[in-house]
């Protein structure tokens, strides 16, 4: 087996759990000459639960490989009423980064993408501030400065949508401090990732570090989640925390918080790019 003669693909499956699913799926893959490299599954409930599976595999490079795989699975998809998604690693995803004034999450994503840890292309950076233009230029990424004011918010979103349409597969809100309209969010269901600078569901909304300071918590955190119409209530992808103590000012909490924010967001983006995330009942199944 060589990389040239083979394609690396991934399928994501969701359906009602019932005996024999894994047998049928793996037999189908075997019939296609696939060589499984990763396989993970999850059932929400031993009885009448929902079944989720992610399989990554090498398959001989043939013409119309996607159609061939899709056709082979067609009977199963019908029989089990499967939600079935197929991805080829060589069809790289493209994403836009939305960012406001703070650049730590932006820089982290640019760096991880350049180092090959995030295997996707950054199509553009969109910001309501002009000040990241230089770094965008250095990285050869188009930079769009679109100011946002309460009055012309929808107009700004229309501008953003025009830039995005057909150009991106998903969006990362990398400390973008504007609340998007439900209409905007609807355009990217399960394809818009936000980093919230608190350990959700604690401190939903504005100024989480200030409120964490006020409450006197001993641990602060960050949460990456898919954006839904409800503020900070979408499916959580990843969270992490750091210990603090009584000696931390709000400013110091923000400084250490930045480290968690960028780490958590980078992990979530990577998992999204590698098709490791399924969503069910406003919760994520993450096959790491």
Among residues 88, 163, 241, 250, the one that binds a copy of itself under rule CB under 8 A: 241
CA dist 280 and 276 (Å) reads: 13
The site map against a copy of itself for 148-187 (x = CB under 8 A) is ----------------------------------------
Of 122-130, 177-185, 189-197, 240-248, which part binds a copy of itself (CB under 8 A)?
240-248
274 binds a copy of itself (CB under 8 A): no
CA dist 264 and 105 (Å) reads: 10
Count CA atoms closer than 13 A to 268's CA, side-chain side: 32
User: Which CB atom, from 20 or from 147, has the smaller least distance to a copy of itself?
Assistant: 20
Count CA atoms closer than 13 A to 211's CA, side-chain side: 12
Centroid of chain to Cα 165: 18
> Cβ-count burial of 257 within 10 angstroms (0-12 exposed, 13-18 middle, 19+ buried)?
buried
Of 32-40, 62-70, 142-150, 167-175, which part binds a copy of itself (CB under 8 A)?
32-40
Of 35-43, 90-98, 173-181, 185-193, which part binds a copy of itself (CB under 8 A)?
35-43
Among residues 35, 50, 70, 187, the one that binds a copy of itself under rule CB under 8 A: 35
Of 17-25, 125-133, 152-160, 172-180, which part binds a copy of itself (CB under 8 A)?
17-25
The count of residues in the chain is 288
> Cβ-count burial of 104 within 10 angstroms (0-12 exposed, 13-18 middle, 19+ buried)?
middle
Count of residues interacting with a copy of itself (CB under 8 A) = 59
How many Cβ atoms are within 10 Å of 206's Cβ, its own excluded? Answer: 10
Dihedral (CA of 115, 60, 41, 90) sign: positive
Say whether 232 is catalytic.
yes
From the list 230, 232, 275, 281, the catalytic residue is 232
Among residues 82, 136, 184, 236, the one that binds a copy of itself under rule CB under 8 A: 236
Centroid of chain to Cα 254: 24
41 binds a copy of itself (CB under 8 A): yes
Count CA atoms closer than 13 A to 96's CA, side-chain side: 24
The H or E element containing residue 124 is: strand 121-127
Least gap, CB of 270 to a copy of itself (angstroms): 10
DSSP tally for the chain: helices H, then strands E: 8, 13
Contact positions with a copy of itself (CB under 8 A) in 184-223: 199-203, 215-219, 221
Interface residues with a copy of itself (CB under 8 A) are 1, 19-20, 22-23, 26-27, 29-30, 33-37, 39-43, 46-47, 58, 104, 107, 111, 115, 117, 138, 199-203, 215-219, 221, 235-241, 245-247, 255, 259, 263, 281-286, 288
The residues annotated as belonging to the active site are 232
């Amino acid at each position: 087996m060589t990389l040239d003669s083979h394609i690396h693909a991934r399928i994501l499956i969701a359906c009602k759990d019932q005996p024999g699913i894994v047998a049928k799926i793996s037999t189908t893959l075997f019939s296609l000459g696939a060589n499984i490299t990763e396989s993970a599954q999850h059932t929400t409930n031993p009885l009448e639960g929902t079944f989720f599976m992610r399989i990554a595999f090498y398959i001989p490079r043939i013409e119309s490989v996607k159609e061939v795989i899709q056709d082979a699975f067609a009977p199963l998809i019908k029989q089990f009423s499967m939600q079935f998604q197929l991805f080829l690693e060589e069809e790289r995803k493209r994403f836009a980064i939305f960012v406001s004034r703070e650049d730590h999450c932006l820089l982290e994503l640019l760096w991880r993408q350049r180092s090959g840890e995030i295997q996707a292309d950054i199509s553009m950076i969109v910001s309501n501030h002009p000040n990241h233009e230089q770094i965008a230029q250095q990285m050869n990424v188009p930079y769009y400065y679109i100011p946002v004011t309460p009055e012309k918010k929808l107009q700004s979103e229309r501008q953003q949508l025009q830039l995005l349409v057909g150009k991106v597969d998903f969006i990362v809100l990398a400390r973008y401090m504007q609340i998007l309209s439900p209409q905007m969010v609807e355009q990217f269901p399960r394809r818009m990732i936000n980093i919230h600078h608190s350990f959700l569901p604690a401190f939903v909304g504005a100024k989480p570090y200030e409120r964490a300071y006020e409450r006197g918590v001993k641990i602060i955190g960050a949460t990456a989640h898919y954006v839904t119409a409800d503020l900070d209530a979408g499916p959580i992808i990843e969270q992490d925390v750091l210990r603090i103590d009584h000696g931390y000012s709000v400013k110091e909490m923000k400084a250490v918080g930045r480290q968690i924010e960028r780490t958590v967001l980078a992990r979530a983006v990577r998992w999204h790019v590698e098709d490791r995330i399924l969503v069910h009942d406003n919760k994520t199944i993450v096959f790491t």
